[in-house]
Homo-oligomer: A and B are copies of this chain.
Amino acid sequence: MEVGFLGLGIMGKAMAMNLLKHGFKVTVWNRTLSKCDELVEHGASVCESPAEVIKKCKYTIAMLSDPCAALSVVFDKDGVLEQICEGKGYIDMSTVDAETSLKINEAITGKGGRFIEAPVSGSKKPAEDGQLIILAAGDKALFEESIPAFDVLGKKSFFLGQVGNGAKMKLIVNMIMGSMMNAFSEGLVLADKTGLSSDTLLDILDLGAMTNPMFKGKGPSMNKNSYPPAFPLKHQQKDMRLALALGDENAVSMPVAAAANEAFKKARSLGLGDLDFSAVIEAVKFSKE
């Protein structure tokens, strides 16, 4: 199978590499072209613009850093839109909001192309290991044709219906994550302030019905006041905000998520936005006693 691949950041590079390793013919493009070199060593072809990639390949995957980059690659000069046409499929795996996805979808399908959004759950390590979770939505047939690639990139892919649903599902997952992180933080701080060991609390949690990789992975460093940014707090807070906005549209009252969102905002105001989202514990801890 031959695929185009746009965007070779941390995630994109790992993903394109996996495709190559599994025998896919991959044509890559990146804004900074030099980033393509390592892929070329492993057998990738290179094009000088998104338009060229689209022209060459029946299927093109994009993995871009944010909504702005996702839009630019499609709509700018030499962009996707110049070559997309009937028979071609565009698979945007970037994390963008539903609105951005809908805009891209409209443009692509307006030219006769097919589109799915396919944001992923998982960061660098799962990307390298082909263990992402893929939340796809849009053109059902294109989704099915993409399965060979998705099987290489992720451990599981879901088809969620119309464009926008992938983005929404990801927000909901992240909202639960943000509230859980606050619950965890409040518990760790309460243990500490009542003279109990927050390390022992980690051990106890780890043995019970709430044990989960996130508590296990982040707990020990939180107890050492260390928050190396795997998922920056400001992005987590943005996702909480967007999930709450989704609740607003649908008249779903979510007081716990709302309280968690305010805690993340307090953490931002304390200058913690660029640290890992587990740094929200600092907002809970903060006192002058």
Binding site for B on A (CB under 8 A): 121-122, 133, 135, 155-156, 158, 160-161, 165, 168-169, 172-173, 175-177, 179-180, 182-184, 186-187, 189-191, 193-197, 200-201, 203-205, 207-214, 217, 237, 241, 243, 245-263, 265-266, 268-271, 284, 286-289
Which chain B positions have C-beta within 8 A of A179? Answer: 179-180, 182-183, 186, 256
Compute how far the CA of A243 lies from the CA of B201 in the bound complex, rounded to whole angstroms.
14
By the criterion CB–CB under 8 Å, are B169 and A204 in contact?
Answer: yes
Which chain B positions have C-beta within 8 A of A210? Answer: 173, 176-177, 180, 212-214
What are 27 sample pairs from A and B whose C-beta atoms fall under 8 A apart? A121-B207, A121-B208, A155-B207, A158-B204, A160-B200, A161-B196, A169-B196, A169-B201, A172-B191, A173-B201, A173-B204, A176-B183, A179-B182, A183-B257, A194-B250, A210-B213, A237-B248, A251-B269, A252-B269, A253-B262, A254-B265, A256-B259, A266-B286, A269-B286, A269-B287, A271-B289, A286-B286
Of the candidates B161, B261, B271, B288, which one forms a contact with A258 in the assembled complex, judged by CB atoms under 8 Å apart? Answer: B261
**Chain A binding surface, main DSSP class:** helix
Which chain B positions have C-beta within 8 A of A193? Answer: 247, 250-252
A266's nearest neighbour on chain B, judged by CB, is B253
Minimum CB–CB distance for A164 against chain B, Å: 9
A230's nearest neighbour on chain B, judged by CB, is B209
Which chain B positions have C-beta within 8 A of A211? Answer: 212-213
Compute how far the CA of A95 lies from the CA of B156 in the bound complex, rounded to whole angstroms.
42
Which chain B positions have C-beta within 8 A of A287? Answer: 251, 266, 269-270
Minimum CB–CB distance for A157 against chain B, Å: 10
Of the candidates B133, B241, B254, B271, which one forms a contact with A288 in the assembled complex, judged by CB atoms under 8 Å apart? Answer: B271
Which chain B positions have C-beta within 8 A of A194? Answer: 168, 172, 246, 249-250
Q: Can you add 6 more A-B contacts, CB < 8 Å, to A251-B289, A259-B259?
A: A155-B207, A173-B204, A180-B183, A183-B257, A186-B254, A186-B257
Question: Which of A161, A190, A203, A217 has the most chain B CB atoms inside 10 A of its CB?
Answer: A190
A193's nearest neighbour on chain B, judged by CB, is B250
A169's nearest neighbour on chain B, judged by CB, is B196
Which chain B positions have C-beta within 8 A of A255? Answer: 255, 259, 262-263
By the criterion CB–CB under 8 Å, are B259 and A169 in contact?
Answer: no
Minimum CB–CB distance for A173 against chain B, Å: 6
Which chain B positions have C-beta within 8 A of A241? Answer: 245, 248
Which chain B positions have C-beta within 8 A of A262? Answer: 253-255, 258
A211's nearest neighbour on chain B, judged by CB, is B212
